[in-house]
Amino acid sequence: MVSEEEIRARLEQAGQSHLLRFWDELEPAGRASLLSELALLDPNELREHCQRAAAACAQEQGPLERLDSRMQPVQPEFLGSVRKSDPQTLQRWEEEGFHQIAQNKVAVLLLAGGQGTRLGVTYPKGMYQVGLPSGKTLYELQAERIRRVEQLAGHRHNTHCIVPWYIMTSEFTLKPTVEFFKENNFFHLDPANVIMFEQRMLPAVNFNGEVILERKDKVAMAPDGNGGLYRAIVDNGILEDMERRGVEYVHVYCVDNILVKMADPVFIGFCVLKDADCGAKVVEKAYPTEPVGVVCQVDGIYQVVEYSEVDLETIQRRDESGNLVFNAGNICNHFFTRSFLQTITREFEPLLKQHIAIKKVPFVDEDGNLVKPLKPNGIKMEKFVFDVFQFSKNFVAFEVLREEEFSPLKNADTANKDNPTTARFLDENGIRIPEQPSTLGTENPPVLCEISPLVSYFGEGLEVYLKDEEIHSPFILDEKKAKLLEKA
């Protein structure tokens, strides 16, 4: 264990000696905990981190660089679309995707380092029950979609296949996530194919460039953003594990999208047939000023431009057909080849921009009292997963329908808006859904209906079970009920 004297010398070198100001008041256990935490911080990296945070904060408070004159939309030859493509093209992409899945070449990677603070819960977002009649959590829904896509690919190609599930957690979410999966028997997935790993943490810094003490014996730490993925897969040997399994293509997504299509065969197939090394799913912006980043080119290089970086005139610009020019809303749903990830980790990760988030960070004051600030007082530095687009040699974007594939659970009430989405599939298959009162507000049709991903990955085959059924809310179609209806 590193000695107190050595830690003091390191902190002095980093300009952060104040972190030991309560040393004389700490019990042995508290001293040991603080020393072990500080021992992980390299003094040179810590000094640079604090200086960058303070400088970035000062710069952010000044005028932002405008990108309007340098922007171009995604070029048509690099843009696929579910809405604009004919059935034959969609089928060709899907067949290619299933072909790759059946060869065990596809993995999914979940970004799950954030806590469910905005959802009003103290546990990881993936453990959140989204309000479905079954009581299923986000983790369970995603696990079932993995199982189903494995089954569909296996049936098509007469083989047994595996889609490994890599889950990036953080110091906050690793332990409860591991325990939750164990308690739920990994949702009937083989534990050997569910690989959890932890992203790095960075100290929160005040506006003067000083690391914040959360307690007398603990530094305020935060995950290094979803762009911390690229250091985390090196730290934890993830690329080596993928290579050992024969994984060539990786579908990366965020935990809070209830409608995410795990290892989406159409998206995978589109990217593979386009020979892409990097791809992004996008949705049409709901309205011009929707506060989402857009995928576009800046000086001929693909990236995500935030709405705060452009003028209102650019945001509202339309083409001859009346469509928004910059309309490709980013939804944090990406395709990467393993070789592209290897290139990023070997050559480009240090070049990724660090973004700042100004937050309210609890701290101990000079008298040792815990303070929960009423206004932002701290800086958290993070990298974004999509900032690697610029290094792609063959980038593509893939437009999907928002109502089918993008419904993030950010706030506590959002789940009430998203539950009935699967009812659309019934309507499309000609299955009767009578109008009836609903507690869900303005949904159309107003019916609460849940279809297990184990029965239908994305609406396929429902007529087999429900051809002569009349659906009444609430309705659950799980594996057990599907078998009974099939026999009937």
Full DSSP string of 127-166: G-B-S-TT--BHHHHHHHHHHHHHHHHHHHHTS-----EE
75 — pLDDT class (breaks 50, 70, 90): very high
d(CA 406, CA 397): 15
At 71 the pLDDT is 95
Whether residue 411 is contained in a domain is answered as no
d(CA 122, CA 173): 10
Together in a domain, 54 and 79: no
Weakest mean pLDDT among 202-216, 238-252, 378-392, 413-427: 413-427
* pLDDT over 60 at 222, yes or no: yes
* Percent with pLDDT over 90 in the chain: 71
The angle subtended at Cα 225 by Cα 232 and Cα 381, nearest 5°, is 115
Domain end (from 60, 80, 107): 60
d(CA 476, CA 488): 17
415 — pLDDT class (breaks 50, 70, 90): very low
123 — pLDDT class (breaks 50, 70, 90): confident
pLDDT tens digits, 439-483: 444 445 456 778 889 998 888 887 777 776 677 777 788 888 888
Domain end (from 40, 60, 80): 60
At 131 the pLDDT is 80
Query: Is the preceding omega at residue 445 within 30 degrees of 0, hence cis?
Result: yes
At 434 the pLDDT is 54
At 63 the pLDDT is 58
At 334 the pLDDT is 98
- Is residue 443 within 8 Å of 427, Cβ to Cβ? no
Together in a domain, 185 and 47: no
Considering only CA atoms, which of 430, 427, 419 is closest in space to residue 476? 419
With left for phi above 0 and alpha for psi between -120 and 50, is residue 295 left, alpha or beta?
beta
Whether residue 478 is contained in a domain is answered as yes
d(CA 26, CA 251): 46
418 — pLDDT class (breaks 50, 70, 90): very low
Together in a domain, 477 and 361: no
Together in a domain, 391 and 355: yes
pTM across the whole model: 0.90
335 — pLDDT class (breaks 50, 70, 90): very high
- Tell me the three state secondary structure of residue 79: strand
302 — pLDDT class (breaks 50, 70, 90): very high
* pLDDT over 60 at 406, yes or no: yes
Does 86 or 132 have the greater pLDDT score? 86
Domain end (from 355, 373, 405): 405
Q: Which domain holds residue 464?
A: 416-487
At 134 the pLDDT is 87
Together in a domain, 454 and 390: no
Together in a domain, 73 and 185: yes
Question: For position 79, which CATH number holds?
Answer: 3.90.550.10
114 — pLDDT class (breaks 50, 70, 90): confident
Together in a domain, 56 and 93: no
Residue 281: what are its φ and ψ, rounded to 5°? -75, 140
At 57 the pLDDT is 82
Whether residue 40 is contained in a domain is answered as yes
The total of other beta-carbon atoms located within 10 Å of residue 248's CB is 17
Question: For position 423, which CATH number holds?
Answer: 2.10.10
State mean pLDDT over 175-191: 97
As a dihedral over the C-alpha atoms of residue 351, residue 352, residue 354, residue 357, rounded to 10 degrees, the angle is 180
At 268 the pLDDT is 98
Together in a domain, 308 and 160: yes
The per-residue pLDDT of the chain, averaged, comes to 89
Residue 334: what are its φ and ψ, rounded to 5°? -130, 155
Share of the chain residues as helix, strand and coil, in percent rounded to the nearest 5:
40, 20, 40
* pLDDT over 70 at 6, yes or no: yes
Tell whether the torsion through CA atoms of 136, 141, 142 and 148 is positive or negative: positive
Considering only CA atoms, which of 405, 424, 288, 336 is closest in space to residue 107? 336
d(CA 316, CA 67): 15
315 — pLDDT class (breaks 50, 70, 90): very high
Whether residue 373 is contained in a domain is answered as yes
Together in a domain, 113 and 207: yes
Whether residue 32 is contained in a domain is answered as yes
State mean pLDDT over 16-44: 95
Together in a domain, 148 and 32: no
d(CA 75, CA 424): 32
318 — pLDDT class (breaks 50, 70, 90): very high
- Is residue 1 within 8 Å of 36, Cβ to Cβ? yes
At 422 the pLDDT is 44
At 428 the pLDDT is 52
DSSP string, 405-433: H--B--STTTHHHHGGGGHHHHHHTT-B-
pLDDT tens digits, 253-271: 999 898 999 999 999 999 9
Whether residue 299 is contained in a domain is answered as yes
- Tell me the three state secondary structure of residue 18: helix
* pLDDT over 50 at 366, yes or no: yes
- Is residue 264 within 8 Å of 318, Cβ to Cβ? no
For 430, half-sphere exposure in the C-beta direction (CA atoms, 13 angstrom radius) is 5
Considering only CA atoms, which of 198, 204, 196 is closest in space to residue 171? 198
243 — pLDDT class (breaks 50, 70, 90): very high
At 447 the pLDDT is 61
* Percent with pLDDT over 70 in the chain: 89
Whether residue 410 is contained in a domain is answered as no
d(CA 3, CA 7): 6
At 446 the pLDDT is 53
pLDDT tens digits, 386-397: 999 999 999 999
* pLDDT over 90 at 133, yes or no: no
State mean pLDDT over 415-425: 43
Weakest mean pLDDT among 132-136, 164-168, 317-321: 132-136
At 410 the pLDDT is 61
Together in a domain, 36 and 97: no
At 331 the pLDDT is 96
Count: domains in the chain: 3
Together in a domain, 87 and 185: yes
DSSP string, 273-324: HTT-SEEEEEEE-SSTT-S--EEEEETTEEEEE-GGGS-HHHHH-B-TTS-B
Tokens matching residue 383: 């990298």
